Amino acid sequence: MAIIEVNAVHKAYAGRTAVDGVTFAVDEGEIFGILGPNGAGKTTTVECVEGLRIPDAGTVRVAGLDPVADHDRVTRLLGAQLQESELQAKLTVREALELYSAFHPDPADWRSLAERLGLHTRLTTRFAKLSGGQKQRLSIALALIGNPRAVVLDELTTGLDPRARRDTWQLIEEVRDSGVTVLLVTHFMEEAQRLCDRIAVIDKGRVVALDTPSGLIRKAGSSTVISFTPSQPLAPDDLAALPAAASVEQKGGRIVINGTDETVNAVISLLARHRITAHQLRVSEATLDDAFLDLTETRTEAADTEQAA
Amino acid sequence: MTTPLASNPPAPTAPSSASAPSLAVLTCEARLFLREPGSLFWILVFPTVLLTILGLVPSYREADDGLGGRRVIDLYVPVAVLLAMIMSGLQAMPPVLAGYRERGILRRMSTTPVRPSALLTAQIALHGAAALGSAVLALAVGRIAFDVRLPGQPAGYLLALLLATASVLALGAMVSALSRTTKVSAAVSSVVYLVMMFTAGVWLPVQAMPEVLRRIVECTPFGAASQALDRAASGGWPGWMHLGVMALWTVLPAAAAGRWFKWE
């Protein structure tokens, strides 16, 4: 069942369209990613979900509730970590946790939450003295403190070092494993690929694709690259007959084939049939990066991609 | 809007739950307020220190015929009281409120069941309380150290005091509402605050101003406050005109602040 439903939402600021008919639904228990370049309308979209902005057109529902009209009830169900949102500089971690606990009728135990997020050794540290990673972890803690059914995490790992980013990813997976639905806004491909069950790619205010990470990669043309140096030359006819191969190139004795899993199997049996050894055989997955560039570039044809998974 | 709330339906809004979070916000902001030594000095200590310094000048402790037989120090007690209010409402508060908006603190709170207005209310209440505390300190030091008589009309004095506080807080809230950033709000408050200091009589007590100037200054919140406090100090009921001017300077800026305050 969908816990967050966004239906044909439009939002413009002073005549400039930020969100132009975005539709998606987040199922309970998944990590749903919103991926897109800067200024694509990602943050505006989730701000409509959080009830911080009122859509010009379209509807948003969180567990069936309108985030603006039923703001109070929605805030009890939905935790939010906002982009670039700070706390009072001289507020300590402990005070922040206690304060935000007091906001909720049925809060989580802030001590165990702090421990889970590795903040228990920083309880007396003031917000201004925390590192970037610690501030983000505190933000996650405050988003989770009301025992929400879903959390919105907006550009959570922006500005973190690679180590802190990886720790945060693990944390998000733990949050999902504890039964909380996660709506994750990001512009990092690696993050989306690693974490998300499904991704909506947003570009210029529109959803240009919505699928699982591997589905997106598959859709974006050739998803697998096979390269090797054969011990004997291969017949061009054999190469041309390979199934699902998008392209075959030969460069200085090295063959590079763009295709799918099916192509990989065909290449292997072809080599076996001719008893040809493949030197330096490499099979690599195309990344979400490639898919993303494909999707956001060929936006005009993809614009009518309304097929939700 | 038919909600198949599967496992855990949200708890119905308990009416009693509204006050507990607001109290938590107030307690928390009070703690933070005590961590600002700069603000505490300017609001609570500075006005009384200024009064003390002036009181140490021997000639200021002598009756002056030009002031109707009163001493300069007698006139400076209400000035110190008003100075405390200006420091609190116009010097200290606007950058705090603007900072809370600028740094996304209000926005973050908007995503919780508590309205961010609880934070603004707490700040306004704390700055009001600090100003009144400082006023009491100035009155006490004036009485104990320099033998300045306590207000002869305490009820009228208190009324004028509360109206002056309300007015300065409303003005401070308006400055925060209309300035986009902390820097702008600090700059605007500095200008307003110098004007207010003048009209409160910090450089020249309102009662000692030339007639025409005094008439003009009486139309400002602190000129009116000064006259009202002076009247109540000497035992009379403050003039309704002065009280009315302060009330007007409370209602209008408060309405403007409410109308134009940006939450982000």
Residue-level pLDDT at B134: 96
pLDDT of B223 over the 90 cut: yes
* B127: in domain: yes
> Cα–Cα distance between A136 and A169 in angstroms, integer?
12
Q: Which residues of B230-239 are buried (b: 16+ CB within 10 A; e: fewer)?
A: bbbbeeeebb
Least confident of A184-198, A251-265, B75-89: A251-265
Taking contacts as CB-CB distances below 8 angstroms, the residues of chain A near B2 are: 64
Residue-level pLDDT at A38: 83
End-to-end CA distance of chain A: give it in Å, rounded: 14
Overall number of domains in chain B: 1
Name the 3-class secondary structure at A88. Answer: coil
Query: What letter does residue A128 receive in the DSSP assignment?
Result: G
Strands annotated E in chain A: 2-13, 16-27, 31-35, 57-62, 78-81, 150-154, 181-186, 198-203, 206-211, 224-230, 247-251, 254-259, 278-285
Please tell me the total number of residues recorded for chain B in this structure.
Answer: 264
Per-residue pLDDT reduced to its tens digit, B161-193: 999 999 999 999 999 888 878 888 888 888 888
Any chain B CB within 8 A of the CB of A99? yes
Best probe of the B interface among A28, A50, A87, A103, by most B CBs < 10 A, is A103
Mean of the per-residue pLDDT values of chain A: 87
> Cα–Cα distance between A280 and A283 in angstroms, integer?
10
Per-residue pLDDT reduced to its tens digit, A127-170: 999 998 899 889 999 999 999 999 999 988 877 788 888 888 98
Please tell me the total number of residues recorded for chain A in this structure.
Answer: 309
Any chain A CB within 8 A of the CB of B212? no
**A104 touches A110 (CB < 8 A):** no
Calculate the alpha carbon distances from A92 to A96, A124, B31, B32, B195 in Å.
Answer: 6, 5, 11, 10, 37
> Cα–Cα distance between B168 and B172 in angstroms, integer?
6
Taking contacts as CB-CB distances below 8 angstroms, the residues of chain B near A108 are: none
Per-residue pLDDT reduced to its tens digit, B21-64: 889 999 999 999 999 999 999 999 999 999 999 999 888 888 88
Which residue in the block uniquely carries the two structure tokens 């949050």? A175
* B208: in domain: yes
pLDDT of B14 over the 80 cut: no
Topology agreement, domain A2-86+143-218 and domain A222-285: no
Residue-level pLDDT at A220: 66
Find the domain containing B137 and state its range. Answer: 24-260
> Cα–Cα distance between A120 and A111 in angstroms, integer?
7
Exposure of B215 in the CB half-sphere (CA atoms within 13 A): 2
For residue B16, what is the nearest residue in chain A, using CA coordinates? A105
Sign for the pseudo-dihedral over CA of A146, A149, A152, A158: positive
For residue A139, what is the nearest residue in chain B, using CA coordinates? B108
Mean of the per-residue pLDDT values of chain B: 88
* B9: in domain: no
Question: Residue B104 and residue A86: Cβ atoms within 8 Å?
Answer: yes
Name the 3-class secondary structure at A228. Answer: strand
For domain A2-86+143-218, the CATH class is alpha beta
Best probe of the A interface among B22, B100, B112, B115, by most A CBs < 10 A, is B112
Strand partners, A201: A35, A209
Select from B1, B17, B112 the Cβ nearest to the Cβ of A75: B112
> Cα–Cα distance between B142 and B150 in angstroms, integer?
8
Residue-level pLDDT at A299: 44
Which residue, among B145, B152, B163, B143, has the nearest Cα to B82 in the 3D structure? B163
Q: ipTM score here?
A: 0.82
Any chain A CB within 8 A of the CB of B15? no
The letter for the amino acid at A188 is: F
Q: pLDDT band at A297, cuts 50/70/90?
A: low
Which residue in the block uniquely carries the two structure tokens 């910090």? B202
The letter for the amino acid at B160 is: A
Which residue, among A205, A202, A204, A200, has the nearest Cα to A216 in the 3D structure? A200
Which residue, among B129, B116, B1, has the nearest Cα to A99 in the 3D structure? B116
Helices within A160-305 (DSSP H only): 162-177, 189-195, 213-219, 236-240, 261-273, 288-297, 299-302
Any chain B CB within 8 A of the CB of A91? yes
Which residue, among B118, B13, B30, B121, has the nearest Cα to A104 in the 3D structure? B13
Q: Which CATH architecture has domain A222-285?
A: 2-Layer Sandwich (3.30)
Q: pLDDT band at A226, cuts 50/70/90?
A: confident
Per-residue pLDDT reduced to its tens digit, A161-216: 888 888 889 889 998 999 999 999 988 888 888 999 999 999 889 998 899 988 88
For A:14-73, CB contacts with B below 8 A are 50-52, 63-66, 72-73
Residues with Cβ within 8 Å of B192's Cβ and at least 6 positions away in sequence, in order, are: B90, B171, B175
Residue-level pLDDT at B18: 56
Closest-CA distance of chain B to residue A174, Å = 21
Per-residue pLDDT reduced to its tens digit, A65-114: 999 999 999 999 999 999 888 999 999 999 999 999 999 988 999 998 89
> Cα–Cα distance between A52 and B59 in angstroms, integer?
61
> Cα–Cα distance between B99 and B92 in angstroms, integer?
11
Question: Residue B111 and residue A50: Cβ atoms within 8 Å?
Answer: yes
Residue-level pLDDT at A221: 60
What's the CA angle centered on B196, arms B190 and B197, to 5 degrees? Answer: 90
pTM score of the predicted model: 0.81
**A201 touches A298 (CB < 8 A):** no
What ranges do the domains of chain A cover? 2-86+143-218, 222-285
Strand A206-211 versus strand A198-203 pairing type: antiparallel
Residue-level pLDDT at A303: 40
Select from B4, B14, B105 the Cβ nearest to the Cβ of A86: B105
pLDDT of B7 over the 70 cut: no
Q: What is the mean pLDDT of residues B96-102?
A: 90
A251 vs A149, more confident: A149
Residue-level pLDDT at B37: 94
Residue-level pLDDT at A290: 73
pLDDT of A309 over the 70 cut: no
